Chains A and B, each alone.
Chain A
Amino acid sequence: MSSNNGSALMKPLRDVGIVGYGAYVPRYRLPAREVARVWSGRDAELPIKEKAVAGLDEDTATMSIEAARNALARAGIDPKRIRAVWVGSESHPYAVKPTSTIVAEALDIVPLTQAADWEFACKAGTEAMQAAIAFVGSGMADYALSIGMDTAQGRPGDALEYTAAAGGAAILLGPAEESLARIEASLSYVTDTPDFWRRAHAHYPSHGQRFTGEPAYFHHVTSAAEMMLEGMQRDPADYRYVVLHQPNTKFPQRAAKQLGFRKEQFETGLLVPVIGNTYAGSSLIGLTAVLDEAQPGDRVLVVSFGSGAGSDAFSLEITDAIVDARRRALTTRDYIARRVEIDYATYARFRGKMLMK
């Protein structure tokens, strides 16, 4: 039995790993040039190429169900053995009534399970993953399902409308000996930093403009990553892949380079140029894209970021089980390749931005 001894790193009593994972990206894409055409002219600087948009009949619950079905297909376990269904999102369909019970019911995990929704802006999904590691690692459960999924809101004409996207991933945690990726350690780094928020009855979020950069994203992401590297006594070169939260194309690339990572390490998990910022799903779907390609023995560093603000960091080591597991469900790139381009008017209809009565 280990003791934390005041270390920044968190390690559970029993070794834990990822036993299943699944992604979901809806099929519609809104090119950033379409947003620019309507709001800022054609020569505007575009933060991404295009973003994924949910269809009229999709929300965080339906997208979580499909991602979780993919995760369960990879794990091949009886869903009744899952003892927690935790969905992190900032776009839960209800203000009061859990998304997680809908997901748990659809996957036949009910009734002997925890079910709750998590909220921490873009890191609600990794927050749920930390809790799932603890739940399995303490021995209270053999399996716990954590999901980061969003249909993110963007105020029409706001800078975030280019990137606020739909998608995410489900990560099923279980015993390390059954896992396709072992959790070596994790840590969480949090301060009260008001860079981005949405009040209780507001439709759209507000943000601190340039304040969202240095004191928020860069400070938390690089601090969490540096403390993880220091705690593990590793260099960036010890990791085959790194995945950082990706609100736009520039931020994660700059942070990764600042930390000493090279392009070959971050390009596999950098999906924001082609799907946008999937908020609570962003770092987790970057991770699923890496798991689709990683080889046994590879190490992966994942660092999320949530406004408000904080980062969760995870150090993973891929196991032999990845080779069979990844074939059992659609890959992240399969979903990205399924693509139907829409114009701004269709986007406005899909996202309910037109007053109908």
Chain B
Amino acid sequence: MSVARSWRTRRQRYSLVGERCEYCQNAIFPPRDVCPHCAEPAQKEYTMSGRGTVYSYTTVYDPPAGFEAYAPYPVALVKLDEGPMVTAQLTDVGADDVRIGMPVEMVTRKLSEQGDEGIIQYSYKFRPRWEQQAVAA
């Protein structure tokens, strides 16, 4: 991700800032110029609650550049409570402990680093909702 794109998308990445359509009332994420549900323009900013459930998931063993340090890691389609589906890494959970339908919540974490001298990108990830978290003895 370029520095410019990273900067442009910072609010949606740090805190799930999307939109809610003023015409059909659907929540929209990521934010865009036109509502994907009713094609009306100029939407109103809306911050998602960060709560959702795992719709489906997989484990990445062969990561793209910039993500090597984290592999293997789980990636999920998360259905937000407000409706939108987002693709995101899961964190604070082992790949074996993920299941479809698992309640999750958004946290802001480090996504990738552009080498030792480039910028650090932060983004939303999802962890098991707090009451679901394993508390090992």
A residues touching B (Cβ–Cβ < 8 Å)? 27, 55-59, 61-62, 65-66, 93-94, 102, 105-108, 330, 334, 337-341, 356
Contact = CB atoms under 8 A, between A and B. Distances in A.
Interface of A is mostly: loop
Contact of B15 (A56, A61, A62, A108): A108
A105 B107 contact: no
B125 to A, nearest CB: 7
A102 B122 contact: yes
Nearest to B123: A57
Given A58-B110, A59-B110, A62-B122, A106 B14 contact: yes
A56 B69 contact: yes
B70 A56 contact: yes
A66 B108 contact: yes
Interface residues of B, number: 23
A340 B120 CA distance: 26
A116 to B, nearest CB: 18
A93 B125 contact: no
Given A27-B92, A339-B136, A106 B110 contact: no
Interface string B76-101: 00000000000001011000000000
Contact of A106 (B15, B125, B136): B15
A28 to B, nearest CB: 9
B32 interface: no
Contacts of A106: 14-15, 108, 122
From A57, A66, A107, name the one whose CB has the most chain B CB atoms within 10 angstroms.
Answer: A57
A58 B120 contact: no
B51 interface: no
Nearest to B125: A57
A240 to B, nearest CB: 29
A59 B111 CA distance: 11
B46 to A, nearest CB: 13
A55 B70 CA distance: 10
Interface of B: 10-11, 14-15, 47, 69-70, 89, 91-92, 107-111, 120, 122, 125, 130, 133-136
A36 B27 CA distance: 53
A57 B14 contact: no
Contacts of A58: 109-110
A337 B122 CA distance: 26
A268 B122 CA distance: 34
A108 B45 CA distance: 13
3 tightest A-B CB contacts, nearest first: A106-B14, A57-B109, A57-B110
Contacts of B92: 27, 55
A334 B131 CA distance: 10
Contact of B11 (A55, A66, A105, A339): A105
A102 B108 CA distance: 11
A65 B99 CA distance: 27
A341 B135 CA distance: 10
Contact of A62 (B10, B11, B70, B109): B109
Nearest to A337: B135
A302 to B, nearest CB: 27
Contacts of B135: 337-339
Given A57-B70, A340-B134, 4 more contacts: A55-B91, A56-B110, A57-B89, A334-B130
Contacts of B133: 27, 338
A102 B110 CA distance: 11
A230 to B, nearest CB: 44
A61 B89 CA distance: 18
Contacts of B89: 57
A94 B14 CA distance: 18
Contacts of A102: 14, 122
12 contacts: A55-B109, A57-B91, A61-B110, A62-B122, A102-B122, A105-B10, A105-B14, A106-B15, A108-B47, A338-B133, A339-B136, A340-B136
B111 to A, nearest CB: 7
A106 B136 CA distance: 30
A57 B134 CA distance: 19
Contact of B108 (A62, A341, A356): A62
B111 A57 contact: yes
A61 B122 contact: yes
Nearest to B133: A338
Nearest to B137: A339
